[in-house]
Amino acid sequence: MTPSRVATALVLVDDQYDFFDRPNLVPDAVSIQKHLAALLEGFRQHRSPVAHVHTKVRADGSDRMPHWIADGRWACVDGTDGALPPTELAPADDELVVSKQFFSGFAGGALDKWLRDHGVGRVVLAGLYLHACVRSTALDAYELGYDVWIADDAVGTTDAAHGVFSRKWLQGRAARFVSVADVLGSLDTEVVASSTSIASEVRAATETARRAQMQWAATDIRERVALLERWASELETNAARLVELVIESVGKPRSAAEDELRRTTAHIRSAIALTDTFGSPRGLASQVSVRHQPVGVVGLILPWNNPVALLVGKLAPALAFGNAAIVKPSPEASAVALAVLELLDRAGAPTGLAPVILGARDAGEAVCDDEGIDAVAVTGSIATGRTIVARCASSAKPVQAELGGNNAAIVLADVDLDLVVPSLIRSCFAFAGQRCTAIRRFVVERSIADRFETLAAEATRRIVVGDPHDPSTEVGPLISPEAGARVRAVIERAVSEGAHIIARGEVPGGLQCESWLAPTLLGGVAPESAVAQEETFGPVAVVLVVDDIDEAIAVANGVPHGLVLQIVTGDPLAQRRILAEGQAGIVQIGAGPLPISADAPFVGWKASGIGPPEHGEWDAAFYTRPQAVYGEPPW
């Protein structure tokens, strides 16, 4: 049904520096600000009403919210830069500015009166935070009788799970979540694309996959193995074409893309080997046996940075165990996923065994929400993983999530720095640091810190930045200009907080400056600072100087992540101690590239992993359900 013609106003909530600067903001500040600016510009061009709601605190802090006082929190103090919005979001002279103390923008009545004076019947809310002030403002707007839209890609949250619950609770009750593009389109057409279309697409794909899965699960295990072997052969035959597609799609340097293709077929061989262990029932004792049944239809939500290996690494064991899968690739790598799945079809896969759903976040959410999906596997950021877990919780779907790492290398004083530093630097900056296994923090004993920084600076400047097609290139572009802007903002903030640049590589002339970023090594960094605590996912590393092994272990462990820990010392006692106390699922002893094995568990501790590990025999814990059979079995 086409909505009735009403005046529409934009209400920006708490788009202030102090709120943008808080950790764990999802999406990141650069992305939110870009969408907010687009909204603001669109409403101004259409001469539609715009209001700004800002939190303001007196200089003495006496009117801070009680929980801020209890936590010792200061933010948005009147007269400080933190209380201001970014320049591109600053209010115009004819736009309303409302100050608030607590959550809702409608407190005090000024916003409601102004909207009614302008004949507004619909409000579009955007800004920070979805789980708090945006939600509260939306509920009050609904209660006051407004048609409430929330610009889905122009709101952020620092509490991913709470943000999910807020979105799900508000949707269909008090508000409607609409993309920025559709909001702006509605100013012209007053028609918004159906929010149910992607859900319908997922539902149809799931029904198709369910029918295919029931037949596939009944197929002899030897036929499943034969399909996987043919798929591996197709991937090997077409490796050169896939390498070119990876380079073009995500800017991965050629050598890294070729390595990814080599690892890909290893995942298929590992999945085939699993059928020997888990493909047939096993007797435990007299009258008791165990068999592993497929889960059913599994949703696979994939990132862009390893578009072949991660897709195959998840899909191969799923198929080996008799499942079907709904594949949701990252938009940046959709072409790669389609090419890989085309080769699966060419290998003889049954129709409907692995349908593809293309799209961005809304497509991933639809996969999580669909009742026909039995489990979800995802690789992404911590915030992404927590969001997916929250969405799957209501239907108790199992989740397997690999969620990135802010990885540390502990470098003790006994090592030969001339030998290890070049390898350490490459383990950080390769593929512009866009790998969950990249080393981002060098935890170095003080007695060797100066020498380490000197050698690391030399190695950083020697890193080859350039065209990803060139076999000699080690660092290509970041995935997008927005990613470049985000990482630059991280560096600028760190420097403003007292860090200094130890070394910065060089980007050759003629390359796109927005996406290419020179490898940057920072010193003078506090372990508790944002650049040391958060996963930058770019060509940035920090040197953290410590006094001894006790402090080194504490600093290395002192982040939410727990994926990779590198131990760089020749002292066996120190190695054993770090192994015992280090909080990471993957530990490498020695410098150099991390040789990921398809048969070993790829496991993140703490916030870096949820659910069973990936790869090898550990995949059986996710892609199958064990079934105990008592009595004389019929096989």
Active site residues: 402, 436
Residue 542 and residue 547: Cα distance in Å, rounded?
A: 17
- Report how far residue 186's alpha carbon sits from residue 199's, in angstroms, rounded to the nearest whole number: 21
Q: What is the 3-state secondary structure (H, E, C) of 447-516?
A: HHHHHHHHHHHHHHHHCCECCCCCCCCCECCCCCHHHHHHHHHHHHHHHHCCCEEEEECCCCCCCCCCCC
Concatenated DSSP letters of 200-244: HHHHHHHHHHHHHHHHHHTS-HHHHHHHHHHHHHHHHHTHHHHHH
> Is the separation of the CB atoms in 197 and 178 below 8 Å?
no
Q: What is the rounded CA–CA span in Å between residue 606 and residue 622?
A: 19
Which residues face 54 on adjacent strands?
99
- Helices 254-278 and 221-237 cross at an angle (nearest 10°) of 170
- What length is written for the chain? 635
For 208, 447, 524, 592, 594, the CA distances from 544, given in Å and listed in that order, are 53, 13, 7, 19, 21
Q: How distant is the alpha carbon of residue 386 from its chain centre?
A: 10
Cβ partners under 8 Å of residue 239, min gap 6: 258, 261
What's the distance, CA 359 to chain centroid?
Answer: 15
The conformation of residue 346, written as its DSSP 8-state character, comes to: H
* Neighbour count for residue 240 (Cβ, 10 Å): 10
**Which tokens hold the place of 479?**
């995935």
Sole residue written with tokens 């020179």 = 518
Instruction: Kindly state the tokens that stand for 355.
Output: 């349908």
Closest CA to 303 of 331, 325, 326: 331
Return all residues near 60 (Cβ < 8 A) that are at least 6 apart: none
563 close to 405: Cβ distance less than 8 angstroms: yes
Question: Which residues does 470 contact at the CB level (< 8 Å), separation at least 6?
Answer: 253, 254
Residue in the structure block whose two tokens are 């640091």 = 433
Angle at 545 between CA 543 and CA 551, to 5 degrees: 125
Rounded CA-CA distance 221/376 in Å is 24
Q: Most distant CA pair in the chain: distance in Å?
A: 83
Please answer whether residues 450 and 607 qualify as being in contact, where contact means their C-beta atoms are separated by less than 8 angstroms: no
